[in-house]
Amino acid sequence: MMLLCNMKLACHGRTSSLLSVFVYQLSWGLLMISLNSHPSGRHFLQIPGPSPVPDRILRAIDNATIDHRGPEFAALGKAVISGMQQIFRTSGNVVIYPSSGTGAWEAALVNTMSPGDLVLMVETGQFATLWKKMADKLGVRVEFIAGDWRHGVDPMAVEARLAQDKGHEIRAVCVVHNETSTGSTSRIHEVRKAIDRAGHPALLMVDTVSGLGCADYRHDEWGVDVSVSGSQKGLMMPPGLSFNAVSAKALAAAAQARLPRSYWDWAEMVAINPSGYFPYTPSTNMLYGLVEAIAMLLEEGLENVFARHQRHAEATRRAIRAWELEILCLEPAEYSPVLTAVVMPDGHNADRFRKVVLENFNMSLGQGLGKLSGRVFRIGHLGDFNDLTLCGTLSGVEMGLGLAGVPHSKGGVQAAMAYLAETAAPAVVKAG
């Protein structure tokens, strides 16, 4: 602020006047940011991603950038690729892009499809809808199985449609694993079984942008051909990296596909990645963070990570039921371990409620997307998250419901705390 004031005083004439206006506006903008922030305590980022980035990962990203053609980088490249194979649970290729998950969506389609190819998608929520819109723009024909945004993929509906496709016109089945807009997790292994029962050769392509690193996911075992993910959810990273895990069948399809591709081309990546390098300048510092993210997940153990997310999700649902509010997802077997979407009572706007929570408690909750705008809010309970973080999150929600005048019963936080206490792992006390 002092520097800006000195700049203002040092200028002369008309230029000085114009610059003074600019400096004043900039100074006032900085002042307003300060006034609108909370002076103490952390911001609770409880949206369903990006999730809070642990200090350990932030410190890794802060390392000096190295030569991306040098020997040190080769070791880094090999480490992140092999590590991501463990996270995806695959022995096949994992391609890493500097992009959001949207880029990995596009890579999945352009590498496997030709103009006019038909794919089968399922309307599970906003992100399934957006992937469908992308396919439309790329010149891929989409048959969209309608959904109510309150359930995951119905494997029986997929099987029935594929059984009708005697000429095998459908080239791929594209589904969302964890639908971030609704809090429903589809049973991907059952979708695979449905495809197999239909005897259909379609590729299975799965968006697990918000599922990977939070919910059980097994690329090889479940017979997924292309898995799509991103860095900003269960991997606890900032946005900026995306991934394709690719089966041999998908690579064979890519050799025949004719949609235009350059930046997203798997072939160049797969050719050079075994050496640890990339065909273009990679996001080196994000890869530093990815090494730490992988290490954190593997140190805890993936099964423990999944169990932790399930436990926090159940505690959240107990709080919501105690408040006598409605969980958006209607199928208990499809409850998401990543987030929970809560339906607002009639006559009450979810965005107004979220604004009350943000302004009073410095906590961000997820908004309703697409068809659900204003009708739901979403509680993220993913990533670098523990019991006390959840208790703070639910306390903010319960206090916010009261301040916003949303009809509810009290005791949601207590219900969650009781469950967390009942299910806490016993402490190991060392003698001496």
pLDDT tens-digit readout, 247-270 = 999 999 999 999 999 999 999 999
- How far is Cα 280 from Cα 293, in angstroms, rounded to an integer? 23
If asked whether residues 325 and 414 sit together in one domain, one would say yes
Q: Report if residue 29 sits inside a domain.
A: no
If asked whether residues 198 and 64 sit together in one domain, one would say yes
Domain containing 164 equals: 55-298
Q: Which of 298, 331, 361 is the last residue of a domain?
A: 298
CATH of the domain at 168: 3.40.640.10
Spatial contact of 96 and 90, defined as CB atoms under 8 Å apart: no
Q: Report if residue 272 sits inside a domain.
A: yes
If asked whether residues 234 and 354 sit together in one domain, one would say no
If asked whether residues 292 and 308 sit together in one domain, one would say no
Please give the torsion angle defined by the CA atoms of residues 137, 139, 145 and 151, in that order, rounded to the nearest 10 degrees.
Answer: -40
Q: Report if residue 32 sits inside a domain.
A: no
If asked whether residues 268 and 314 sit together in one domain, one would say no
- How far is Cα 192 from Cα 178, in angstroms, rounded to an integer? 16
CA–CA distances in Å: residue 290 to residues 47, 59, 231 = 21, 12, 8
Low-confidence residues in the chain, pLDDT < 50? 1-28, 30-36
Contacts of 283 (CB under 8 A, 6+ apart): 98, 240, 241
If asked whether residues 48 and 67 sit together in one domain, one would say no
If asked whether residues 146 and 292 sit together in one domain, one would say yes
As for how many domains the chain has, the answer is 2
Q: How many residues does the chain have?
A: 432
CATH of the domain at 329: 3.90.1150.10
Residue 387 C-beta-side C-alpha neighbours within 13 Å: 13
If asked whether residues 284 and 383 sit together in one domain, one would say no
pLDDT computed for residue 338 by the predictor: 98
Q: Report if residue 22 sits inside a domain.
A: no
CA–CA distances in Å: residue 181 to residues 13, 49, 109 = 55, 11, 22
- How far is Cα 207 from Cα 205, in angstroms, rounded to an integer? 7
Q: Report if residue 160 sits inside a domain.
A: yes
If asked whether residues 274 and 185 sit together in one domain, one would say yes
If asked whether residues 279 and 321 sit together in one domain, one would say no
pLDDT computed for residue 38 by the predictor: 60
Q: Which of 275, 298, 321 is the last residue of a domain?
A: 298
If asked whether residues 310 and 284 sit together in one domain, one would say no
Place of tokens 């490249």: 77
pLDDT computed for residue 40 by the predictor: 82
Q: Report if residue 19 sits inside a domain.
A: no
pLDDT tens-digit readout, 209-232 = 999 999 999 999 999 999 999 999
Q: Report if residue 37 sits inside a domain.
A: no
* Structural tokens at position 297: 């997940």
Q: Which of 268, 298, 328 is the last residue of a domain?
A: 298
Q: Report if residue 8 sits inside a domain.
A: no
If asked whether residues 64 and 48 sit together in one domain, one would say no
pLDDT computed for residue 23 by the predictor: 42
